[in-house]
Amino acid sequence: MAARAARIPPCPFPRFYPPCTSFASSFHIHQFPASHLPCSRFQASPLKYFRQGTHRGLSTWGSPTGAVPDVERKATLVERQGATRAIESILKPQSDYARYNMIVGNHGTGKTTLVCHVGHQLDGILYVNISPNSVSDKTFAEEFAKAFHWTPATRFWHDMLLSYWGISAGEVADDRAILVEVFKEFDNQAKVFKKNKGRSPVLVLDNINRLAEANPKLLNILQDMAKDAADDGLFITVFVTSRSASSRLGKVVEIGDMNHDEAIDFLCNKRAISESVAEDIYSLVGGRVGLLVTAVNELDSGQDFAGVRELLLGDARRVLRKGGMEQGGQFREAGIQIANHIFQHGRISWYDFYRISGSTSQGDQLLSLNIFTTAPRSEWVFFDTKPMEITVRALVENASD
C-alpha cells in the first residue's frame, strides 16, 4: 500500500530493499547465526530463555500525553506552522489511515525537535531514537523495549550462574530472538491500544539513516513490518531520517530550511536580534535552523559576529579536511570540479556528480561527507550548508591562484 511521509532530500542511502512475504517471516530466527553457549548443558532455545516480561508500556505511551520526550530547551524550538501541521497530520492520523510515513530533512533542519514538540502533546505515540550505539539487532531491541518500559524477564539463578562464570546473560540469547520478543510484545500492546481507543497507535523511528549505513538488513525488516502493520491496520510507522530515499513510500514530507522572511522573523521577533545583524547571520548560514540557533546562542554568550563567523566556517573547514578536499586529499580534484559546476549553474545533476566522482561508490562516499547534499526526489546535488558553500568557494579560489 502506498505510504505518506514528512520529508528531506534523496541520497543514495538509506536504500530500501524488496519486501518480505509477511510480518512474521521478517523475524525468522534461523535467518541469522545464533550465539553459542560455552557449556552445552545450558544450551536452550532462545524463546525458552524468556519468561513473560513486565507490561508497563500502555501506562506510558498509551497515556493521554507526554510519552514522547519534549524539547529539552525551548530556546532551540523554532515554531514553523507549515511543518508543524504536516507533522501533526501524520502523528495524529484518521482512524482509517493505512499507510506508513517518512519525515526527512538535512541535519540541523529541526525535524527531531519538531517531532518531539508535536508528539509530546499527543497520546498513542511510541518514540524510539536510534543512536550510534543502538544499530545492532540486540541494542536496537533493547532501545525499543526501553521506549515502552518493557523488559523480558530472565531466569534469575541461571543468569547468576553465568555471571559467576564471567558470562553475560545477554550473550546467551540470539540477538534476533530478543528482537522477536520485543516486537511480539509491542504487537500485543498495539492491539490493546486500538481496542481501547478505536484507532491505531503510531511508532516513530528517528535517525533510521544510521541503520541504513550500519545494519541495512534490520532496516529492511522494519520496512516490511511497517507495511504489513499498515495493511493490517495494527499500527502506523513514521520513519525520521536525515537522508531521503526513494522506496516503497508514497508521499514524503520534507522539513527543509526556512526562507529569508521566516529566518529574519525568527531572529528579530523571537530572539531579539537587530535587523542588520539578522541579515548578516542569514547571509552566513542561510535558513538552516540549527545554524541560526547556534549563531544566536554564540552572540548571546558574548561572542561578536566575527567570532561567530570564524567558528562556523572553521567547522566547515574541518569537514573539508576530513573529507579529503584539501591539498593532496582523496576527493580534492573531483570535489573542486563539482564545486565549480555548482558555482556556475547553481546545482549539478546526479549523472554529472557521479561521473566526476569516478564511480558510484566514490560518489556515495562523497555525498556522505556533508559537503554536498541532495534535494528530495530530485536529480540535483547542492552544497550541504551555506557555511560550506562559502568555505568551498574560498578553497576553489585559492586552488586557482
- Return the top range by mean pLDDT from 50-64, 216-230, 233-247: 216-230
Q: Is the pLDDT of residue 118 over 70?
A: yes
User: CA quadruple 133, 137, 138, 141: dihedral positive or negative?
Assistant: positive
Reported for 324-330, long-range contacts at CB under 8 A and 24+ positions apart, including other chains, are 324/369, 325/371, 325/392, 325/395, 326/395
Q: Could you tell me the domains of the chain?
A: 74-254 (3.40.50.300), 260-399 (no CATH)
DSSP assignment of 317-384 equals HHHHHHTT-STT-TTHHHHHHHHHHHHHHS-EEHHHHHHHHSSHHHHHHHHTTTSEEE-TT-SEEEES
- 239 in Cβ contact with 208 (< 8 Å): yes
The count of residues in the chain is: 401
Confidence of residue 110 (pLDDT cuts 50, 70, 90): confident
pLDDT score, position 297: 93
The pLDDT of residue 278 is 97
200 in Cβ contact with 235 (< 8 Å): yes
**Cis peptide bond upstream of 10, omega within 30:** no
Sheet of strand 348-349: strand arrangement: 348-349, 380-383, 372-374
Q: What are the CA-CA distances from residue 360 to residues 146, 202, 353, 355, 371 (Å)?
A: 38, 36, 10, 8, 17
- Which range of 47-61, 116-130, 294-308 scores highest in mean pLDDT? It is 294-308
Residue-wise pLDDT for 316-371, tens only, equals: 999 999 999 988 899 999 999 999 999 999 999 999 999 999 999 999 899 989 99
The C-alpha atoms of residue 241 and residue 111 are separated, in whole angstroms, by: 9
- The per-residue pLDDT for range 168-178, each reduced to its tens digit, is 555 445 667 78
Q: How confident is the model at residue 10 (pLDDT cuts 50, 70, 90)?
A: very low
CA distance 320 to 315: 9
Q: What would the pLDDT profile of 284-313 be if each residue is shown by its tens digit?
A: 999 999 999 999 999 999 999 999 999 999
For residue 207, pLDDT over 90 is answered with: yes
pLDDT for the residue 213: 83
The grid coordinates listed for 330 are 582523496
Greater pLDDT, 158 or 121? 121
Q: Which residues face 203 on adjacent strands?
A: 126, 237
Question: What distance in Å separates the CA atoms of residue 114 and residue 87, rounded to the nearest whole number?
Answer: 8
Residue 92, pLDDT score: 84
Look at residue 66 in the predicted model and tell me its pLDDT. Answer: 57
When pLDDT is averaged across residues 153-164 and rounded to a whole number, the result is 51
At residue 39 the predicted structure's pLDDT band, cuts being 50, 70 and 90, is very low
Q: What is the pLDDT of residue 150?
A: 80
pLDDT of residue 342: 97
Q: What is the pLDDT of residue 245?
A: 53
DSSP 270: I
